[in-house]
Chain A
Amino acid sequence: MSASTIIFYILAAITLGGAILAVTSPKIFRSAIYLLFSLIGIAGLYFWMNFEFIAAVQVVVYVGGIVVLIIFSIFLTQGSGSDMKDPVKIRSLFAGLAALCGYCLTYYVIQRTEFHPQLEQGSAEISVSRIGEQMLSTTEHGYLLPFEVVSMLLLSAMIGCIVIAIKTRSIK
């Protein structure tokens, strides 16, 4: 057991434990905080794989953006300390069974599949400048078109949010 192995298992335990507590906790505010821990664990997994830029984006967008948005909407819609209604017993039983069966099936497929890594010699480092150049290039492996489409999507989502959530004042 080397140190990086131990760190991987710790990060995986934080991620999965936070996720399990987030979907089972009866208090909604605690559920959001456990989700925060799970997302930080995932960012740690990205750091473990040396994808620092993705880890930073994960922390900024998920931890800094989405979880804060979820917590604000909890404050706007219901009391954060009160318990939620318990899930229907039979439904949670069958949901657990379905999740377990799906997990077992996927595990079986993963164990059976042989993955062949493509070990070509090349620059293996993931630098931010390389990401930026390839994202904005129009050549064969460039990602300029999806980038522009995502920017249009974000703009339309922003306008749509404002239109949906704006308070309509009745005309007297």
Chain B
Amino acid sequence: MSDIGLGHFLIVSTMLFFIGVYGFMTRRNMITMLMSVELILNACNINFIAFNKFLFPNQLDGVFFTLFVIAIAAAEAAVAIAIIINLYRNRKSIDAEDADMMRL
């Protein structure tokens, strides 16, 4: 535990978050957009764990929040992939711009 502190982890997670944001805005394929969302959620998890480690070392709240975020991310990925597969059956495409079936 030398000179690496909380700031290093926060900068890594900030970079990861904005890489995810960049991917979410540029990609048009739904699966790759889902992968960008996973990157964003992981950046959030790194923040929780780093705050727990460096600011509140004798508590466990960051661990629990990380566990719940991982569980919710898994549920979200499963539902998103079910929707993507159903969309592919109807449209033969998973491009985000082809998904206009809910338009009136």
Residues of A within 8 A of B99 (CB): none
A8 touches B4 (CB 8 A): yes
B9 touches A45 (CB 8 A): yes
Tell me how many residues of B have a C-beta within 8 Å of chain A.
Answer: 71
Interface of A is mostly: helix
Known contacts A5-B3, A16-B12, A69-B78; is-contact A23 B64 (Cβ 8 Å): no
CA–CA, A76 and B75, complex, Å:
19
- A102 partner, pick from B2, B21, B56, beta carbons under 8 A: B21
Say yes or no: is A120 at the interface (Cβ < 8 Å to chain B): yes
B63 touches A126 (CB 8 A): yes
A84 touches B49 (CB 8 A): no
Known contacts A4-B2, A51-B63, A134-B64; is-contact A16 B25 (Cβ 8 Å): no
- A16 partner, pick from B15, B34, B35, B45, beta carbons under 8 A: B15
A22 touches B63 (CB 8 A): no
A92 touches B26 (CB 8 A): yes
CA–CA, A56 and B50, complex, Å:
17
Residues of B within 8 A of A162 (CB): 82
Known contacts A16-B19, A66-B73; is-contact A31 B35 (Cβ 8 Å): yes
Known contacts A28-B32, A91-B26; is-contact A57 B67 (Cβ 8 Å): yes
- B23 partner, pick from A22, A51, A84, beta carbons under 8 A: A22
Residues of A within 8 A of B75 (CB): 153-154, 157
**Residues from 16 to 57 in B contacting A, C-beta threshold 8 Å:** 16-23, 25-29, 31-32, 34-36, 38-39, 42, 45-46, 49-50, 53-57
- B32 partner, pick from A20, A31, A122, A150, beta carbons under 8 A: A31
CA–CA, A111 and B6, complex, Å:
11
Say yes or no: is A171 at the interface (Cβ < 8 Å to chain B): no
Residues of A within 8 A of B63 (CB): 51, 53-54, 126, 131
The distance from the CB of A59 to the nearest CB of chain B, in whole angstroms, is 11
Q: Which residues of A contact B (CB under 8 A)?
A: 2, 4-5, 8, 12, 15-16, 19-20, 22-24, 28, 31-32, 35, 38-39, 42, 45-46, 49-51, 53-54, 57-58, 61-62, 65-66, 69-70, 73-74, 76-78, 84-85, 87, 91-92, 94-96, 98-100, 102-103, 106-107, 110-111, 115-120, 122-124, 126, 130-131, 134-135, 141, 143, 146, 150, 153-154, 157-158, 160-162, 164-165, 167
8 A-B contacts, Cβ less than 8 Å apart? Answer: A8-B4, A23-B39, A24-B23, A42-B46, A117-B57, A146-B68, A157-B78, A161-B79
